[in-house]
């Protein structure tokens, strides 16, 4: 390319370099007849992966839970919890919208489910019917993420007995448990 052709047109070169902290650096270099310019743009990439902590909960009837989350979109977000695997309107328990702050109970809300400003699900006075899968959808400017976990509600027998199992050779290591 001759010097004249270079003077008549700008040449743009864009380099995308992945950075370890979740950002992408975009460099744009413009070459013109007398000036070389360089601009750097930092663009935020997707948020950390949304996770329930712990993924599964095991509780007794009458107890309460606070199910924590980590990761996911940040800033002005909407936290919505659903009962069952499907995040559909009929399964919605409760939603929290951060701006302006507001809580919206869903059709599946029985009155003891709530969500905190950090997106944690709280359920007071667990019953056997509360066992099952729960999903959370966190939506923000960066997009939305979803995760699903399971609550198990275990019964405690009123009384039980433990007796060793016997065979012809004496007491075995395995015992028998029976609920009375």
Whether 93 and 27 share a structural domain: no
Alpha-carbon distances of 120 from 54, 81, 93, 177, rounded to whole Å: 12, 9, 13, 38
Highest mean pLDDT among 11-25, 104-118, 150-164: 104-118
CA dihedral for 103, 108, 110, 115, sign (positive or negative): negative
Identify the domain containing residue 127 by its residue range: 51-153
Confidence class of residue 40 from pLDDT cuts 50, 70 and 90? very low
pLDDT, residue 5, reads 40
Whether 55 and 129 share a structural domain: yes
Whether 117 and 143 share a structural domain: yes
What mean pLDDT do residues 120-149 have? 92
pLDDT for 80-128, tens place per residue? Answer: 999 987 889 999 999 999 989 999 999 999 999 999 999 999 999 999 9
Does 164 map to a domain?
A: no
Whether 59 and 28 share a structural domain: no
Tell me, what CATH number does 58's domain have?
2.60.40.10
* Cα separation, 17 vs 12, whole angstroms: 16
CA 141 to chain centre: 16
Does 106 map to a domain?
A: yes
Does 178 map to a domain?
A: no
Whether 69 and 8 share a structural domain: no
Whether 89 and 146 share a structural domain: yes
Does 173 map to a domain?
A: no
Whether 129 and 67 share a structural domain: yes
- How many other C-beta atoms are found inside a 10 Å radius of the C-beta of residue 74? 14
Does 167 map to a domain?
A: no
Whether 70 and 118 share a structural domain: yes
Whether 26 and 80 share a structural domain: no
Number of domains in the chain: 2
Does 176 map to a domain?
A: no
Does 13 map to a domain?
A: yes
Residue 67 clears pLDDT 60, i.e. is over it: yes
Whether 11 and 74 share a structural domain: no
Q: Taking the model in full, what pTM does it have?
A: 0.61
Whether 83 and 149 share a structural domain: yes
Whether 104 and 33 share a structural domain: no
């Amino acid at each position: 390319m001759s010097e004249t052709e270079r003077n008549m047109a700008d040449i743009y070169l864009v380099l995308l370099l992945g950075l370890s902290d979740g950002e992408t650096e975009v460099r744009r270099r413009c070459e013109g007849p007398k000036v070389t310019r360089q601009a750097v743009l930092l663009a935020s990439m997707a948020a950390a992966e949304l996770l329930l902590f712990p993924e599964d909960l095991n509780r007794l009837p009458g107890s309460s839970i606070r199910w924590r989350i980590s990761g996911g979109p940040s800033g002005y977000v909407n936290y919505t919890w659903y009962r069952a695997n499907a995040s559909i309107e009929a399964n919605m328990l409760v939603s929290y919208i951060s701006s302006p702050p507001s809580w919206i109970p869903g059709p599946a809300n029985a009155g003891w489910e709530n969500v905190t400003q950090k997106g944690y699900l709280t359920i007071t006075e667990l019953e056997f019917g509360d066992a099952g899968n729960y999903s959370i959808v966190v939506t923000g400017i960066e997009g939305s993420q979803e995760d699903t976990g399971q609550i198990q509600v275990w019964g405690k027998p009123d009384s039980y007995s433990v007796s060793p199992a016997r065979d012809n050779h004496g007491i075995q290591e395995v015992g028998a448990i029976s609920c009375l």
